Amino acid sequence: MLMLKIIISGGGMFLVGLLFSLIFKRKKRVAFIYILYGAIIWIVTIALKFCWAVPVNKLLNNWIYTVLPAKIAGPLFWVYVGLLTGIFECGGIYLIIRYSRLKKMSLFESYGFGYGFGCIEAILLGLAQFAAVAAMATGKAPVPYIGWLTVPAPIVERVMTIFLHLFTTLLIIYGIKERKPYFFWLSFLYKSFVDTIAAWAQLSFGVTTASHIWIVEGILLIVTSVSIVGSIMFLQKK
């Protein structure tokens, strides 16, 4: 039964990522290559972020807590984690699009790119859940307790994250096309802020109980609702 819950959760994330990209492609008739470009660039930016974070984060965290009081060190490290997302994801998108032919993408092609950037994360996380189930079934990994109340949480979070990726990507592309750099900084600050909240939730608040998980999801829903509204507003620019 526990593995069934993980399968439902992982399958939901996988389907969210797959359906978002396929439905948009079909309705707007955007070439799949733009969705693929978004997915590839997500993989590149995340790989670069991990190359930095794996050797640096633990050392930096230990150092900050050594030289500063915990009530200052904690929030400072959360902000740092959030800024990593802004630097690598927003910065990576900006540099790749600014200095490539992708800056000539139409609005709908930009949407496809943004969906690809967000949907690939949901798809890969869903596949990771399936891999975890396989490991549990063969006894290579313990089976964690998961309540039914928490099963939908990762799926809801993926929907919010897809819109976050989409909106922040659209801001960057629009800023490049219109030569208005402040749209990049708006994207950078917004995405960094959201990931700062995520860092706080993971490192301080804790997400081990259903109540805590849904409190965090509620906060993220409020914050990322801007992404949903913003993405719709961009669509009106057609």
Domain with 142, as residue range(s), is 2-235
Distance CA 115, CA 90 (A): 15
Q: What is the pLDDT of residue 134?
A: 81
Contact status, residue 38 vs residue 125, Cβ threshold 8 Å = no
Give the count of domains, the chain. Answer: 1
Whether 238 has a pLDDT exceeding 70, the answer reads no
Averaged pLDDT of the chain: 91
Q: What is the pLDDT of residue 194?
A: 98
User: Per residue in 98-144, pLDDT tens?
Assistant: 999 999 999 889 999 999 999 999 999 999 988 887 887 777 667 67
Distance, C-alpha 199 to centroid of its chain: 13
Q: What is the pLDDT of residue 20?
A: 82
User: Per residue in 164-204, pLDDT tens?
Assistant: 999 999 999 999 999 999 999 999 999 999 999 999 999 99
Length of the chain: 238
Which has the minimum average pLDDT: 44-53, 57-66, 108-117, 125-134? 125-134
User: Per residue in 72-81, pLDDT tens?
Assistant: 999 999 999 9
Q: Which two tokens stand for residue 57?
A: 């984060």
Helices H, strands E: what count in the chain? 8, 0
pTM for the whole structure = 0.92
Distance CA 188, CA 181 (A): 11
Distance CA 119, CA 110 (A): 14
